[in-house]
Amino acid sequence: MAKKRNIIVGQSGGPTSVINSSLAGVYKTAKERGFRKVYGMLHGIQGFLDEQYVDLSTQIHSGMDIELLKRTPSAFLGSCRYKLPEIHENPEVYEKIFRILDKLDIEAFIYIGGNDSMDTIKKLSDYAVFKGHDHKFLGVPKTIDNDLALTDHTPGFGSAAKYIATSTKEVIRDALGLSYKKEMITVIEIMGRNAGWLTGATALAKTEECEGPDLIYLPEIPFDIDKFLKKTRELLKKKPSLVIAVSEGIKLADGRYVCELSGGGEYVDAFGHKQLQGTAAYLAGFLGAELGCKTRSIEFSTLQRSASHMASRVDVDEAFMVGGAAVKAADEGDSGKMVVIDRVADDPYMAAAGIYDVHRIANNEKLVPRSWVNREGNYVTDEFVNYIEPLIQGDYQPFMVNGLPQHLVLRNKKL
Amino acid sequence: MAKKRNIIVGQSGGPTSVINSSLAGVYKTAKERGFRKVYGMLHGIQGFLDEQYVDLSTQIHSGMDIELLKRTPSAFLGSCRYKLPEIHENPEVYEKIFRILDKLDIEAFIYIGGNDSMDTIKKLSDYAVFKGHDHKFLGVPKTIDNDLALTDHTPGFGSAAKYIATSTKEVIRDALGLSYKKEMITVIEIMGRNAGWLTGATALAKTEECEGPDLIYLPEIPFDIDKFLKKTRELLKKKPSLVIAVSEGIKLADGRYVCELSGGGEYVDAFGHKQLQGTAAYLAGFLGAELGCKTRSIEFSTLQRSASHMASRVDVDEAFMVGGAAVKAADEGDSGKMVVIDRVADDPYMAAAGIYDVHRIANNEKLVPRSWVNREGNYVTDEFVNYIEPLIQGDYQPFMVNGLPQHLVLRNKKL
């Protein structure tokens, strides 16, 4: 076997609580498998194009650092939202990338990200095939949204779901304590532009000592504001405190986002995604005006993807596993593929890493199946809950220093 | 010594993560001191007037239940926002209360709450003195806002501060990961209508691996939007990602709330407090328009007072201590008083329960001293940080069941 060369890893897209656990998995496995150097690109492919990278051995000095990294939210290496041009549109970019790869003596290129990042893996591996380069390109899935196809679920989803369910339980308790002889409606807004996986995760708050949210609205089902009002009015007759979970991305049948009704601003990011905000605030105001009761809105916001203090052990461990599996695949000659999580068994839950051709994956969004939402379109089914429940199990207690969770951060960025 | 009679305890006002730890302290100490029955009023004095109460021995069956109660956010017994009328305005209300107290054979009445609740203790003890009743009325402080006078700090504050500092660290990491070659400003909105204690707690995020927020604006200092813009523009030249913490209650020099500038709604609660919302959203929009960079706003919202999964051990233990101390004081003959926390020493931190006449306490708001804010009015001083730091130390890990924190909840509400 030829002497092993170097490996480089990057992170891309919106961060999660466990994206650094995948990075830790890449690093540890690469070291164990005898790769010489493990480089980290700073701010993904965008920083790489500026020759921004770091030798990870200057950052990770011990098993303790690996454990800290697993408990650090957001992209340790920095992320980017940078979409590679089509090869024929701008071959110079590709030539530059491969020039840097060769300069660094890179054998394998691992990219941790979501749909858009898998597009990067696809293009780079296509280009390598086209040009006869032997670099390996592997994708590691990452997104709180759980909207990647072919993988049973995505690393990052379980921890976000656990944080959301925990916070929902706490908000429900808060609401119950305050609603004597007066009605109060709390509308919680959850991330998820098109996919309702995270919003549905609020149903996990339904436990032996908590009723869970009263209504759950996913973006997959057109939102009917008249039915919503009728249903809320009906429930309010039975109980004084209602907690309603809505996705930021719920839309009317005519395609307008509910948050647009408020006249609130809209924002389009580098990938052309609309930034949504204000859905819960609009609905809380609407219900308050229509029903004359106290209402409030809560956006779980950025903490859904960064609250590593409430990470799921299953999720952190699986994120680590898929990172390691990508290195193994590259080392064994795979390229143009994404590692996925296969659910091996349900009872008890078991999962293993699988692998798919990245051409089958990129830019397909996995939505919540209609059959996992009730007929009325205002709650998820038991199947939905059974699917998520194993993914929020177990804890990774943060390492607390002086009362706060400690993180691993980039030190000297120079090589 | 005469045979002991019964004791009743209630919770009032906005909940905290540790208000139930005070309840646990009341219950445990009352049992240990030989009170016959420990009643809990449901939804404070408002429920009590409707004869809504519960024998706590039907709810708390074990040491495990006490520990669960200490880890349960929001008011276990339910809260209320009910202000007793002046005695001369409505003596019938007082007669009714004392009639129920006698019916239940109550010797001591413990009320856990904030400024408004101490007003209840004051009025009831005044009435008892006036009428020659021998019931004892004791107050236990509670508020995340830390705005009660005479106590070094309030139970509930430390846990809220810990949650806020933790979430601020996580948000800063999130922001840092995303700001390559582009500027981004994150504005975080923290609770605190008039007192900036919680907003200042974001400074705790400044640790060995985190720069902390860049600017902090408390409601005690008039907010100058031109200076704010100038300072932000200046900082943005030095670093691409800024995180700014603002209190929901910051006001312009002319007295208008910043959130009013957005034309957003206002809401007045039973105590005449304005409900504020939208300060961060307004400022994020303002900065985005003026500086042309990406901005986002995050409200930590209700979770600041209900995230018991990130409670401070010092806070939980002190909340327990003051609950117990109130029972002890009542048992030893005190009335018309509030238990407080005295800081016995700073290095190492030590605290003990003290006691004050409730007439000295009620309705005085403790604000952040001007000398604990820097000259520019955009950050807190080291003295401020040194004051808070001991209060966020240590954890009370939640009891996790099926992946989520378990809470103790009221079972059968009937006696």
pLDDT band at B415 (very low <50, low <70, confident <90, very high): very low
Amino acid identity, residue A161? A
Which residues of A are designated catalytic? 145
pLDDT of residue B363: 66
Of the given ranges (A381-385, B206-210, B285-289, B368-372), which has the lowest mean pLDDT? Answer: B285-289
Taking only the tens place, the pLDDT of each residue in A328-371 is 999 999 999 999 999 999 989 999 999 999 988 756 789 999 99
pLDDT of residue B265: 46
Model confidence, pTM: 0.94
Q: What whole-number distance in Å separates Cα of residue A367 and Cα of residue A249?
A: 13
Q: Is B301–A299 a contact, with Cβ atoms under 8 angstroms apart?
A: yes
Average pLDDT of every residue of chain B: 93
Taking only the tens place, the pLDDT of each residue in A9-42 is 999 999 999 999 999 999 999 999 999 999 999 9
**Inter-CA distances, A165 with A190, A385, B16, Å:** 11, 11, 19
Q: Which two tokens stand for residue B35?
A: 């009170």
Q: What whole-number distance in Å separates Cα of residue A107 and Cα of residue B343?
A: 61
Which residues of B are designated catalytic? 145
Indicate if the pLDDT at residue B327 is higher than 90: yes
Q: Which residues contact B375 (CB under 8 A, 6 or more apart)?
A: none
Q: Is B307–A170 a contact, with Cβ atoms under 8 angstroms apart?
A: yes
Whether cis (ω within 30° of 0) applies to the bond prior to B155 is no
pLDDT of residue A261: 80
Indicate if the pLDDT at residue A411 is higher than 50: yes
> If we measure between CA atoms, which residue out of A332, A320, A327 comes closest to residue A29?
A327
Express the helix, strand and coil content of chain A in percent, nearest 5 each: 40, 20, 40
Which residues are bridge partners to A215 per DSSP?
A244
Q: What whole-number distance in Å separates Cα of residue A194 and Cα of residue A391?
A: 21
Grouping H, G, I as helix, E, B as strand and the rest as coil, residue B399 is coil
Q: Which of residues 118-177 of B touch A (CB under 8 A)?
A: 162, 165-167, 169-171, 173-177
Closest residue of chain A to B298, computed from CA coordinates: A301
Q: Which two tokens stand for residue A401?
A: 């220093």
Q: Is A167–B79 a contact, with Cβ atoms under 8 angstroms apart?
A: no
User: For residues A8 and A111, is the Cβ–Cβ distance under 8 A?
Assistant: no
Taking only the tens place, the pLDDT of each residue in A89-115 is 999 999 999 999 999 999 999 999 988
Taking CB atoms and an 8 Å cut-off, how many pairs form between chains A and B? Answer: 191
Q: What whole-number distance in Å separates Cα of residue B166 and Cα of residue B24?
A: 26
Indicate if the pLDDT at residue B305 is higher than 90: yes
The residue among A4 and B290 whose pLDDT is bigger is B290
Taking only the tens place, the pLDDT of each residue in B36-82 is 999 999 999 999 999 999 999 999 999 999 999 999 999 999 999 99
The residue among A313 and A267 whose pLDDT is bigger is A313
Q: Does A285 touch chain B (CB under 8 A)?
A: yes
Query: What is the average pLDDT across B334-349?
Result: 96
Whether the CA torsion B278, A280, A240, B311 is positive or negative: it is: negative
Q: Is A177–B310 a contact, with Cβ atoms under 8 angstroms apart?
A: no
Closest residue of chain A to B386, computed from CA coordinates: A402
Taking only the tens place, the pLDDT of each residue in A202-261 is 999 999 999 999 999 999 999 999 999 999 999 999 999 999 999 999 999 999 999 888
pLDDT band at A276 (very low <50, low <70, confident <90, very high): low
